[in-house]
Chains A and B, each alone.
With several copies, the nearest count.
Chain A
Amino acid sequence: MKQIVDFKLVGKQDFGRSALLRLHAECALPDMAPGQFVQVRVDGSPSTYLRRPISIHDVDFQNHEITLLVQQIGEGTRHLASAETGDIINVVLPLGNGFSMPEKGERCLLVGGGIGIAPLFYFAKVLNEKGIRPTLLLGGKTESDLLRLADYQKLGETFVTTEDGSLGEKGFVTMHSVWQKQSFDKIYVCGPKPMMKAVAKLASEKSVWCEVSLENLMACGLGACLCCVEDTVDGHVCVCKEGPVFNTRRLKW
């Protein structure tokens, strides 16, 4: 069941342009699946009239905590990233549908680009809990984009690309040598649209099942306003409600 929850910011880690926010709620949290997202109220400023959709980066049900990884893009995310411990942050959650759970034994590749790595953390964690150890392929422009790398590495074999070669292989995620060396049953992608399209193309060439998590502009986040639509084989569908995760076969890419 979806809820509107006042969280308190209880922990914060700054990564320059991004920040990791640990939010605590008084009451028990509803079920949340990896790939689902939340809608955050920023404040009463005129340029943050609407809520901001942010992926669930991690959940600690026992302690009533969720963690968000927020990159500063504009006024809203800047405001969020500069919240201070003790601040109250109003959140609607959980929204959308998460990643499809693989079968045991399936080889999974989780591909993340930029801030798109955010939902993959919780996903990889849950996969580990289910006894599936995913492979991770994370890309960024430069070394400092690869946030929490050590933590990701604990959740599976992790490959890295950077556009400037400052860490891992130089180039885009689609150029990484792992594509030649290993094969996968399922590929899950979150990142900038061009990168997701490139991975989707690669996956389709290899005839591998592939899911992407879209970040269309949203107003309601509830499937009510029809603002966030993506063009699919079934016509315009709401990313917030039927997604944000889509099998690439469904998309008209």
Chain B
Amino acid sequence: MTIDLGRGLVLRNPVMTASGTFGYGEEYTDFVDLAQLGGIIVKGTTLHPREGNPYPRMAETPSGMLNCVGLQNKGVQYFIDTIYPRIKDFDTNVLLNLSGSCLEDYVKGAEMVDALDKIPAIELNVSCPNVKQGGMAFGVTTTGISQVVSEVRKVYHKHLMVKLSPNVTNIAEIALAAEADGADSVSLINTLMGMAIDAEQRKPKLSVITGGLSGACVKPVALRMVWQVAKAVKIPVVGLGGISNAIDAVEFMLAGASAIEIGTANFIDPAVSAKVVWGINEYCERHGFAQVAELTGALL
């Protein structure tokens, strides 16, 4: 089932877990043997520690949820000192999701992560809708994305995956800019910006009013964007957004994804990621695909 995403990032199978939904992997070891996964992408990390947004940070929506965690994390240095030693020997690819509020933070953070032997790739989060000076500013224009990708590229020598925002008019254009400026792959989608109101209280349900929508409800949008981006770029595309089972995962691969990530579904079934690995295998056998990689773009 091996998937080679380029520049040294080789996955045992196409299934990874999405940043912000799988902690540092440790939270799920009772449910999933991490060695069965293609990779895990750890929490969104920023150069400096962040307390994130106030509570309440989530609201349930039809077939999905909103969150406004706001990148709570203890910063890159804490990650290196405290978390990295605990998780570096996981028998799977551990990717760091790197976020920032200014160009310098991205560059400095990427430089520090470059030195970590056991982190084969950064997923560059230029698409977080939940922080004011959040990366999303970079992720919604071609000039913004070019800037951050080209600067990070200069200091980061391993696999650079750029995570795209769906809150844009033309996502293929943004993906092309990332590709042109040195991304090794793109992952999409991050959350759709949404809002929820408690009509009885006449108040927004989230502390900062808007948040990011994820879960099954966003799947049709995510699938469309993966299809559009995969047609446009030559680098591998990692698909995510609402994947809840193996058939969903296969759909993303048929639409052009080389690998996939599972996010919110981990909350509903903490063992889902391993089940998706088995299910993709089963699908390949049933449909006569010798290699999982053959699924990519195999729409008839």
A interface, CB within 8 angstroms of B: 1-4, 41, 46-51, 92, 216-231, 235-236, 241
A230 near B55 (CB under 8 angstroms)?
yes
Residue B117 at the A interface, CB < 8 A? Answer: no
A47 near B52 (CB under 8 angstroms)?
no
A46 near B216 (CB under 8 angstroms)?
yes
A144–B14 alpha-carbon span in the complex (Å):
42
User: Which residues in B have their C-beta under 8 angstroms from that of A216?
Assistant: 55-56
Residue B268 at the A interface, CB < 8 A? Answer: yes
Residues 37-70 of chain B: 1 if any A CB is under 8 Å from the residue's CB, otherwise 0? 0000001000000011011111111111101010
Residues 264-297 of chain B: 1 if any A CB is under 8 Å from the residue's CB, otherwise 0? 1011111100000000000000000000000000
Question: Beyond A4-B31, A47-B60, A236-B52, is A223–B23 a contact (Cβ under 8 Å)?
Answer: yes
Nearest 4 CB-CB pairings of A with B = A224-B23, A227-B58, A2-B30, A46-B62
What are 5 A-B contacts defined by CB distance under 8 Å? A46-B63, A49-B61, A49-B64, A225-B58, A229-B55
Residue B22 at the A interface, CB < 8 A? Answer: yes
B72 near A226 (CB under 8 angstroms)?
yes
Which A residue's beta carbon lies closest to that of B205?
A: A217
User: Which residues in B have their C-beta under 8 angstroms from that of A3?
Assistant: 30
B216 near A49 (CB under 8 angstroms)?
yes
Tell me, rounded to whole Å, the shortest Cβ–Cβ distance linking A75 to chain B: 9
A-B contact count (CB 8 A): 99
B interface, CB within 8 angstroms of A: 20-23, 27-28, 30-31, 43, 51-52, 54-65, 67, 69, 72, 215-216, 264, 266-271
B23 near A49 (CB under 8 angstroms)?
no
B60 near A50 (CB under 8 angstroms)?
yes
Tell me, rounded to whole Å, the shortest Cβ–Cβ distance linking B121 to chain A: 20
User: Which residues in A have their C-beta under 8 angstroms from that of B21?
Assistant: 220, 224-225
Q: Which one of A4, A41, A219 contacts B67 once the chains associate, using CB atoms below 8 Å?
A: A219
Tell me, rounded to whole Å, the shortest Cβ–Cβ distance linking A105 to chain B: 36
User: Which residues in A have their C-beta under 8 angstroms from that of B56?
Assistant: 216-217
B22 near A229 (CB under 8 angstroms)?
no
User: Which residues in A have their C-beta under 8 angstroms from that of B264?
Assistant: 219
A184–B59 alpha-carbon span in the complex (Å):
39
Question: Beyond A46-B62, A49-B64, A49-B215, is A222–B54 a contact (Cβ under 8 Å)?
Answer: no
A2 near B31 (CB under 8 angstroms)?
yes
What would 16 more interface pairs be, CB under 8 Å, given A2-B30, A224-B23? Answer: A41-B268, A47-B60, A49-B65, A49-B216, A50-B268, A217-B57, A218-B58, A219-B65, A221-B267, A223-B23, A224-B27, A224-B28, A225-B69, A226-B20, A227-B69, A236-B52
Q: Which one of B54, B69, B270 contacts A231 once the chains associate, using CB atoms below 8 Å?
A: B54
Which B residue's beta carbon lies closest to that of A30?
A: B30
A47–B271 alpha-carbon span in the complex (Å):
22
B65 near A50 (CB under 8 angstroms)?
yes
B27 near A49 (CB under 8 angstroms)?
no
Tell me, rounded to whole Å, the shortest Cβ–Cβ distance linking A251 to chain B: 12
A41–B54 alpha-carbon span in the complex (Å):
27
A229 near B31 (CB under 8 angstroms)?
no
B72 near A51 (CB under 8 angstroms)?
no
User: Which residues in B have their C-beta under 8 angstroms from that of A220?
Assistant: 21, 27, 266-267, 270
Which B residue's beta carbon lies closest to that of A235?
A: B51
A2–B31 alpha-carbon span in the complex (Å):
7
B67 near A227 (CB under 8 angstroms)?
yes
Question: Beyond A3-B30, A224-B28, A225-B67, is A231–B269 a contact (Cβ under 8 Å)?
Answer: no
A92–B31 alpha-carbon span in the complex (Å):
10
User: Which residues in A have their C-beta under 8 angstroms from that of B266?
Assistant: 220, 224
Tell me, rounded to whole Å, the shortest Cβ–Cβ distance linking A48 to chain B: 8
A4 near B270 (CB under 8 angstroms)?
yes
Which B residue's beta carbon lies closest to that of A224?
A: B23
A141–B28 alpha-carbon span in the complex (Å):
40
A224–B41 alpha-carbon span in the complex (Å):
12
User: Which residues in B have their C-beta under 8 angstroms from that of A229?
Assistant: 52, 55, 57, 72
Tell me, rounded to whole Å, the shortest Cβ–Cβ distance linking B97 to chain A: 13
A228–B267 alpha-carbon span in the complex (Å):
13
A222 near B270 (CB under 8 angstroms)?
yes
A218–B57 alpha-carbon span in the complex (Å):
9
User: Which residues in A have their C-beta under 8 angstroms from that of B28?
Assistant: 222, 224
